Structures are given as structure tokens and as C-alpha cells.
A = this chain, B = another copy of it.
Amino acid sequence: MAQATAARSGKERKRVVILGGGFGGINAALNLAKLPVDVTMVDRKNYHLFQPLLYQVALAVLSPADIAQPIRSLVRDHPNIDVLMDEAVGFDLAEQRVHLKTGVELEYDYLVIATGSTHSYFGKDEWAKLAPGLKTVEDATEIRRRVLLAFELAEREMMEKGTHPALNFVIIGGGPTGVELAGAISDIAKLYMSKDFRHIDPSMAQVLILEGSPNILGAYPPDLQRKAGEQLNALGVRYRTGAHVTDVQPGYVMVGDERIDAVVTLWAAGVQASPLGKLLGVETDRRGCVLVDGYLNPPGHPEIFICGDLAHVEQDGKQVPGVAQPAMQMGRYAAKRIGRLIAADLGSDGSGKDESFRYFDKGDMATIGRKAAVANIQWPFKAHWSGFPAWMTWLVVHIFFLIGFRNRLSVFRQWAWTYLTFSDGARLITGSQELPGWKVEDDPVVEHATRPLDIASPKT
């Protein structure tokens, strides 16, 4: 352990381990690039994901590669940043070590944990297969598969039997993700599917949001909640609030005693923090988020920084939300704080006196289909916008965020082009060709009963 001892005595460069390559982790790494530290970034995936646009991958507007970029290429120009595709599974806080899944052990002087959050099915993990959520690229392609396949199966059944199950898409959860998915499904059904199918009428697809709380977009001010509701209704999307889903089954969901048929059910309801918070052995909230002090440290561990969704940060009496902006700011803050601590350690500064983290809230936005959005703007002025102006703001802000990408120009060009023209390229169904609850058992392969197909009357 000569190496570790030397490192801690300050004679060697300090070692920083960053767990998680999302917004928090990447921003921490890039802000550590110019400091005299050796950084090791650990992520299960080899890419950073621009998650605010993930729903557009799910709805076949964008390809995964449009919004994901290898972590190695993001840090390519910074020789002090190492990247390791692995996963933390335990900590030794006294010895300042992280245990990784493959058995590798990393020693650190400073540790940044930014492993985010995942879905919570509130203990009903069996719902996960029936109602996928939207956190990863794999989730997105699975949602895409189900939504597109529903139209294909309906067309097939219509040609065969002259009827098909109602194209009801049920989205559990009316937060930003639920609203964005709902708007996008509705738009796609009306704008694109209608041109592509001859027998079914895709514009008859119904999208229903089931929200358990009294309001959709609960984090938004009431006037924007109302506007969002109006814009959803204008798209034909229905929503019900105070609707607690009590069961999810293949082909339907239950709200109390009421059965609601669903060809595709999507989950946008609960999230829980990455399990690493609990593995740390420090205090967490009910979602597993780590309670941190003003420096983003868990109590008693000034060398550990919790960033992004995993951090429970209270500010002005409410919790900082688990979205991209605060995660990016926390990552930057942690890097700068580490820089100041090292400087102090070397004797060139004070004794750790520092500004505490403060979330600078520029506002929130949620899109509703292709031409509308709600924007709760906090900076550079305060305003509540909705409709087309909010949607334009959404576009501009995402250009701004994408600037952080290495290939930002091309990513944006591809994205804007694909999004504005709704190009066909990404509408691929990969993987299985079955949907839970679609009664293929009605159509045994062995039977071959004479059911000539009605191809005489295409809807043209």
C-alpha cells in the first residue's frame, strides 16, 4: 500500500474516482481535467446518454447513437481521466476504496458518486416486464418496439378478422416523462402511422395518462399544469388524476375495480435512487437518496461527493429535483470543491472554508407533442410559457445543452433534421415480435383454418 500512503501524504497527485457517467459524473470529470489529479471514471455503460431526449428514441424519432456518446471520446483530450467499464458493488470508507463488480478495487482520495436513479415499481417488480419504464437505451428501444408493433399487429388482425383490439396506450405517471411520451405517441399515430397503414385507422389510437396524485406535472405551477392539460386534450390525449393503478396485467391495468384495456402500458411513475446510496451505509431518504450537507458530502465524509439524482439536497425548503440541470451543477461544484480542498491541503489556501452548493434554477420544460410545451422559466427572467413559444424555447435550450457534446454540431443537425422532418429511419422494430396480452393464442400456427384475407378494400 505504498502507493496509497504516498498519495494520502500529498506527495503524489490525488486520485479521484467518479462513479457514473451521466450528467453529474461527466461534468465532474471535465471540470477535474485541468487539475493536478488522476481521475478514474467508472460506468456500467460505455456511453454518456443525453437523457432529456431519450423519449424521442423511444418514439422512433431519433436513433440511440444520436443522443449517446462514448465516455472515452468525451474525455479523449484529457490524459488524466481514465475510463473503466465496470460497476461499483461496495465500499470500504475507512480505507477509501471502491469494490467493483469484476473484483477490481479502486483507491481514492476523493470519491464522486453520481449513479442516478432507476424505476421504482413500488415493490411490484413483476410489473416491469408488462410496463417498461424509460431510463436506458435498452428501455427506449423496448418501448419503441412495443408501440410500433401494436400498430402492426392491429393491421394484421384487421386484415384477417375485420376487427382489432382498440389501440389504447396507457401511460402510468403524469410527470414530464409521461406527458412527453403521451404527446409523442399521439403525434406519431396521427401524423405518420395514418399514412402507412391501409386497413386500420391509426389516428383512432387513444392515449391515456393515469396519474396517482391530484395533478399532472406536479412540480409545475398550477397555471402551467392547466395549460399542459389543455394542450394534451387538444392532441386527443386523455388524462386522469387521482387514479391509483392497483394492478398491471398483460393487456390491461386495474384502477381499483375498474379494468382499463391497454395494448401497450408504459411506466413513468416511480423512481428510486441507485442502490449505491444504501451501500454507503449513510443516511438516505425513502427513495434511497443520500442526505448530504451543503458541500454535497454525506455527514462525516468530506472526501465523498454525491451528485445528481442520488443526492437529496434541500434548498429554500424544497428538494432539488432529479433532472439534468442540478446534476450538471452538482458535478461542476464537486470538481471545483475538490480543487479547492487540494489547494488547501497543499497549504496555498484557507482551511476548507468554501461556498456551499446552491442550485441555480433556470427553469423546467416539458414538451407536449411536436408543437407545444410548457416552460416554467426562472432565468434570465421569470415567466410561465406554454404552447408554441414554450416549444421553441425547448428547442433552443436543447441546442444549448447539446453544445456540451463533442460532435455537437452534427448531433444537433441530425437531431433537428430528423425531428423537424420526422424522417422514417428510426422506425425499426428489433427483437421479439410479441406483445404481452396480445392474444396470439387465438391464432394457432398449426391450425391453418381457411380465413382468406380481405385485401379487396384497402383504405386509400
A interface residues with partner B (beta carbon < 8 Å)? 1, 3-4, 12, 15, 38, 40, 44-47, 63-66, 68-70, 72-73, 76, 79-80, 82-86, 89-90, 99, 101-107, 137-138, 141, 148-149, 152-153, 155-156, 159-160, 195-199, 406-407, 410-411, 414, 417, 421, 423-431, 433, 440, 443-445, 447-453, 455-456, 458, 460
Contact = CB atoms under 8 A, between A and B. Distances in A.
A426 B68 CA distance: 8
Contacts of A447: 103
A423 B428 CA distance: 22
Given A15-B455, A425-B65, A138 B445 contact: no
A3 B452 contact: yes
Given A63-B63, A102-B440, 11 more contacts: A1-B452, A44-B433, A46-B428, A66-B425, A72-B196, A72-B197, A85-B153, A104-B451, A105-B450, A105-B451, A411-B425
A339 B448 CA distance: 30
Contact of A458 (B79, B149, B156): B79
11 contacts: A4-B452, A82-B199, A83-B155, A85-B152, A102-B160, A104-B156, A105-B451, A105-B453, A107-B452, A137-B428, A411-B425
Interface-centre pick from A40, A46, A427 (highest chain B CB count, 10 A): A46
A102 B65 contact: no
A305 to B, nearest CB: 19
Contacts of A83: 155, 196
Sorted nearest first, the 3 A-B pairs with minimum C-beta distance are A103-B443, A79-B460, A72-B196
Given A47-B429, A410-B423, A445 B102 contact: yes
B452 A84 contact: no
A448 B90 contact: yes
A235 to B, nearest CB: 23
A433 B82 CA distance: 19
Nearest to A406: B424
Nearest to A85: B152
A424 B70 contact: yes
A197 B47 CA distance: 14
Given A410-B417, A428-B137, A445 B197 contact: no
Nearest to A72: B196
A41 to B, nearest CB: 11
A103 B451 contact: yes
A325 to B, nearest CB: 24
A47 B76 CA distance: 36
A93 to B, nearest CB: 14
Contacts of A428: 45-47, 64-65, 68, 70, 137
Contacts of A195: 76
Given A70-B196, A72-B197, A444-B103, A47 B427 contact: yes
Contacts of A427: 46-47, 70, 73
A70 B423 CA distance: 11
Contact of A82 (B12, B82, B455): B455
Contacts of A138: 430-431
Contact of A63 (B38, B64, B107, B433): B64
